[in-house]
Amino acid sequence: MLKKNGKKLDKDIQKNKILLLGKLFATLAHEIRNPLSVLKINLDLIEIPNSKTEEIEFHESISTSKEAVERIETLVAQTMEFLRGGGEGKTHVSLIEVAENAHKFLLFRANKDNIELITEYEADLPKIVANKNEILQIVINLVNNAMDAVNTDGYIKIKTYSAGAEVVLEVEDNGSGIKPEMQSKIFEEYYTTKKGGTGLGLAVCNEIAQKNGAKLEFSSKYGEGTSFYVRFKKIGEV
């Protein structure tokens, strides 16, 4: 199914990345507003100091302003890294770092929709060999799908753990689940049940997983929820 034309799949990977970036930039634009309004209020305070609490307020304003600037810096830097990244090939990658990046990206939508976005990382998790940016693309797709399935008031867990010869990244949700008769179709290109969906997300995740020597699997119970697993070989295991 996926072993078609390599060029076409590369194009699909790019198309999916642009779609994800569009969503991320929209999030970024919203998220930058908060720290910007903090900065504005603080600048007003500094500009028009008032008598008694002057010095304390001044210092507080400086430190909350710095935090606001740092927040904007991190968000912009992360988005730019995802935009430009990918060309660096395979390196030793910490799945925890990738999961953390995805978490930071997606927290805004999770908060907005009242979805609990939880992370669970196993200590001393061995690194894997992969293209960091491509793995981030997988995680963002999986969490976006989970958020669509959960809708509101649900939870999503991003977990990383080792299991025998493998290191696993799992995205678990308590959303709609997938109907048994649909489960064989979800990895097909253009298969979507969403208004406005491209149906490329999982096909691309599957392709990227294979390119990085990983396997993408899932288990789902209709009406209860779904887990997707990205299974990487531990370094040195065949």
The binding site for ligand ATP (CB under 6 A) comprises 141, 145-146, 149, 173, 175-176, 178, 186, 191-194, 197-203, 226
Residue with structure tokens 């960091």? 132
Identify the residue among 65, 145, 176, 220 touching Mg ion (CB under 5 A).
Answer: 145
Q: Which does 135 bind (CB under 5 to 8 A by kind): ligand ATP, Mg ion, none?
A: none
Q: Which region among 17-25, 40-48, 84-92, 138-146 touches Mg ion (by CB under 5 A)?
A: 138-146
Instruction: Verify binding: residue 137, Mg ion, rule CB under 5 A.
Output: no
- State the helix-helix crossing angle for 6-47 and 201-211, rounded to 10 degrees: 100
Residue with smaller CB distance to Mg ion, 137 or 160:
137
Residue with smaller CB distance to ligand ATP, 115 or 202:
202
Angle at 89 between CA 87 and CA 90, to 5 degrees: 155
Identify the residue among 169, 201, 205, 209 touching Mg ion (CB under 5 A).
Answer: 201
CA Rg value for the chain: 20
Q: What's the DSSP call for residue 182?
A: G
Contact 133, 83 (CB under 8 A): no
Q: How far is the CB of 175 from ligand ATP (least distance, A)?
A: 5
Q: Which region among 8-16, 124-132, 198-206, 214-222 touches Mg ion (by CB under 5 A)?
A: 198-206
Give the Cβ contact number of residue 230 at 10 Å. 27
The number of residues in the chain equals 238
Phi, psi angle pair for 200, to nearest 5°: -100, -20
Residues that bind Mg ion (CB under 5 A): 145, 201
